[in-house]
Amino acid sequence: MASVLEPPQLTSEISATPPPPPRKPASIDGFPQVNPWIVAISVMLATFMEVLDTSIASVALPNIAGSMGASNSEATWVLTTYLIANAVVLPASNWFGLRFGRKRFLLTCVVLFIVSSFMCGAAPSLAFLLIARVLQGIGGGALQPTAQAILLESFPPKKRGAAMAVYGFGVVVAPVLGPTLGGWLTDAYSWRYAFYINIPVGLLAIFMISRFVHDPHYIKNAKAGPFDNLGFGLLCLWTGCLQIILDKGQEVDWFSSTWVRWAAVTLAVSFVWFVVHSWRARAPLVDLHIITRNWNFGIGCILIFLLGFVLYIQVAMVPLFYQELLGYTALTAGIIVAPRGLGSMCGLPMVGLLSQRFDNRWLLFIGFVIFSLSSLALSSLNLGIGPYTLLIPIVATGFGMSFLFVPIGNMCTSTVSNEEMGNATGIFNLLRNIGGSVGIAIASTELVRRTTFHQARLVDSLHPSDPALQQHLHSFTGYFGMHFGWANGKPLALASIYSLVMQQALLISFTEIFLGCAIVAGFAAIVGWLFRKVTFHHVDPEKSMH
């Protein structure tokens, strides 16, 4: 008789040989055997390096131009070439990840980014630097979507909010720290160190990725379809035209230039052709069906575009205000806006926990409202503010950003299968970058146009018989006459008054831009409610492996 303590037999036959000890599987339910938090830090390093370099390079442009004997217009190609290569690779990263393995592809991109960073730092000429920046853009373009796909696949849906908070340190904090770090490196050492700094961070990322990141079974067993040559060619064409128009259009007064008009036509034709081809092709490079097939992902694409739009406007315009109107250096302006990163670092851990317990739509609404109110506070700027007058709005902006990035990513990818994650993150990150490029282009153009408009309006409001104007003119004439000769007193006084008019016109234009950001953020807060509510079910700790 069998003992009651014996376990029930699962088969009718009993082997005489004792079974081997159970082997620990490489993964359970698609989640990695390695602690997912180590995976999150590993891929965050690669993303942090790429995003940081983008913002650092923009600060070093004047020094690059002087060192290379180039004009400021020629030096801006350092940014344009990178953005074009980056935009082309972003949506195509999914195919390369399936073809070569996501881990191998990510490591290759990090290595390429490090090597090209060294080439940028050692560049003997502007032409060599531009070639190196193209290579750097190719390597950097795939880092964000590939790293985000690996991160989201490493966590069960219930834990993805906290994971996105870790990833957010790379995407949200890096653009804030970049100008400060770039200004310090450029002033204290050389603009070349703005590129050399990527090397130690990249080497650490290579070690951690090679040690802790592993492809799940569906990536190892995946077979990429034939390469979509037509789709890739059209993708290169329309993204390249878009970036060139956005970066260079303002310099030639947009559509008054012949080449801008032709580039716009090429952009429109190639984009429509790309969409039609990707929609009908059996194995497209970018599967656009996910946007219409997955409601939450489609809404997320709209919101990440709007977030990139308002975020990059603030990142670019606030330091510019301090430099243009208050006369601060780039480094000082970067230090003043650096507390935005502190707000993000405080908010990200909080929202990572809240996203697991509350409806993410409420978090999203709170984030956009905070961002809108902080933009509204910035719209009340004046020339009498001190370095830290805007400390609270700047910190609040960073805090609100953390309440945006995590919930959007959480709601957007919560209904995306792991097999579709690579394609989804490529589209997601491309739209965020395009939103930022469009936002900066519109803000820069409107700053010039509105300044011209307000200048004319203010000049028309000045009447020679106005007692206040006559008093200022008399006072300035006396001052300049005593110091520079009475013959020069009145011309210098008129020039001084005109300078004040220009300052006021520029100030009003800045406030209007920030007011526009507040309106767009308020609109986005409403759009966020179009998300369908997602309930994150409890996941067995044994299966989540952490």
Amino acid type, 364: L
Same domain, 317 and 197: yes
Q: Which pLDDT score is estimated for 63?
A: 78
Same domain, 337 and 273: no
Q: Which pLDDT score is estimated for 372?
A: 93
Q: Which pLDDT score is estimated for 542?
A: 34
Burial class (CB in 10 A: 0-12, 13-18, 19+), 464: exposed
Q: Which pLDDT score is estimated for 272?
A: 94
Same domain, 301 and 271: no
Distance CA 55, CA 120 (A): 15
Q: Which pLDDT score is estimated for 171?
A: 74
Same domain, 385 and 238: no
Same domain, 214 and 171: yes
The number of distinct structural domains making up the chain is 2
- 369, 361 contact by CB (below 8 A): no
Same domain, 274 and 301: no
SS3 382: coil
- 425, 148 contact by CB (below 8 A): yes
In a domain, 311, yes or no: yes
In a domain, 357, yes or no: yes
Residue with tokens 């100008």: 179
Amino acid type, 46: A
For the chain, helix (H) and strand (E) counts, in that order, are: 24, 2
Q: Which pLDDT score is estimated for 78?
A: 80
In a domain, 217, yes or no: yes
Residues of the domain holding 258: 229-284
Residue with tokens 């008019």: 501
Cα-flanking dihedrals φ and ψ of residue 190, to 5°? -160, 160
Distances (CA, A) of 428 to 16, 37, 44, 202, 459: 57, 23, 17, 24, 46
Q: Please report the DSSP string for 471-489 in residue order.
A: HHHHHHHHHHHHHH-HHHH
SS3 416: coil
Same domain, 401 and 321: yes
Amino acid type, 485: G
Same domain, 340 and 191: yes
User: What does the block give as tokens for 326?
Assistant: 């208050």
- 539, 30 contact by CB (below 8 A): no
Cα-flanking dihedrals φ and ψ of residue 356, to 5°? -85, -15
Label residue 21 left, alpha or beta by phi (over 0 means left) and psi (-120 to 50 means alpha): beta
Asked whether the whole model's pTM tops 0.85, one would answer no
Last residue of a domain, one of 261, 284, 307: 284
Digit-by-digit pLDDT tens for the chain (546 residues) are 444 444 444 443 434 444 444 444 444 444 456 677 888 888 888 888 888 877 777 777 777 878 888 776 677 778 778 877 887 888 888 788 878 888 888 899 999 999 999 999 998 888 899 899 989 988 888 888 888 788 877 777 777 777 777 777 777 777 777 777 877 887 788 888 888 988 998 999 999 888 888 877 767 766 667 788 898 889 888 888 887 888 778 777 788 888 889 999 999 999 999 999 989 888 888 888 888 888 888 999 999 999 989 988 887 788 878 877 887 776 777 788 878 878 888 888 888 788 878 888 999 999 999 999 999 988 888 877 877 788 888 888 888 888 888 888 888 877 777 777 778 888 888 888 888 888 888 888 888 888 888 888 877 766 666 666 666 665 666 656 665 656 656 666 666 666 777 888 888 999 999 999 999 999 999 999 998 887 655 443 333 333
Same domain, 401 and 512: yes
Q: Which pLDDT score is estimated for 306?
A: 93
Same domain, 241 and 365: no
Name the E strands within 341-484. none
In 142-196, alpha helices (H): 143-154, 160-168, 174-188, 193-196
Cα-flanking dihedrals φ and ψ of residue 27, to 5°? -155, 160
Distance CA 370, CA 399 (A): 8
Distance CA 146, CA 352 (A): 21
Distance CA 130, CA 200 (A): 22
Distances (CA, A) of 271 to 210, 241, 292, 351: 37, 10, 18, 37
Same domain, 209 and 269: no
Q: Which pLDDT score is estimated for 458?
A: 77
Same domain, 121 and 239: no
